[in-house]
């Protein structure tokens, strides 16, 4: 996929989690936090051009990620995650359960700083 226009990043544990929807064209990031004390909280913010460029550089790394990551160990309550890149050429999705690709931590931290 040459041009990514939108990114949907989700992480959850035991069903509740956070979903980040990033529109790279408008620079809008919408975050849904299902673990907030008051119930699901949804916020939208406008990111700076620098934020978007940093995000684009990090997201480039996901192009080599496999479609699915899983752990060989039996873990009943771990971390499930997914990232979906959407562009004019289609969609690319990677997801996992208790297993993570290289650069996972950096990309996760980039999204979570906006929570």
Check whether 71 has a pLDDT greater than 90: no
Q: Mention every residue, 6+ apart, whose C-beta is less than 8 A from residue 79.
A: 11, 12, 13, 97, 98
Range of the domain at 60: 4-112
Q: Output the pLDDT for position 60.
A: 92
Mean pLDDT, residues 10-20: 91
CATH number at residue 71: 3.30.1560.10
Check whether 72 has a pLDDT greater than 90: no
Q: Output the pLDDT for position 40.
A: 86
User: Helices then strands (H, E): number in the chain?
Assistant: 2, 7
Q: Output the pLDDT for position 38.
A: 79
Q: Say how many domains are in the chain.
A: 1
Burial class (CB in 10 A: 0-12, 13-18, 19+), 46: exposed
CA 62 to chain centre: 10
């Amino acid at each position: 996929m040459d041009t990514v226009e939108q990114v949907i990043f989700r992480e959850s544990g035991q069903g509740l989690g956070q979903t980040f929807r990033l529109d790279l064209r408008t620079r809008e990031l919408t975050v849904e936090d299902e673990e907030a004390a008051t119930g699901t909280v949804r916020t939208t913010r406008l990111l700076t051009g620098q934020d978007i460029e940093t995000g684009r550089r990090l997201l480039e790394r996901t192009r080599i990620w496999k479609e699915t990551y899983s752990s060989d160990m039996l873990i009943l309550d771990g971390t499930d995650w997914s990232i979906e890149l959407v562009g004019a050429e289609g969609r690319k999705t990677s997801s996992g359960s208790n297993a993570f690709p290289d650069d996972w931590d950096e990309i996760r931290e980039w999204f979570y700083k906006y929570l």
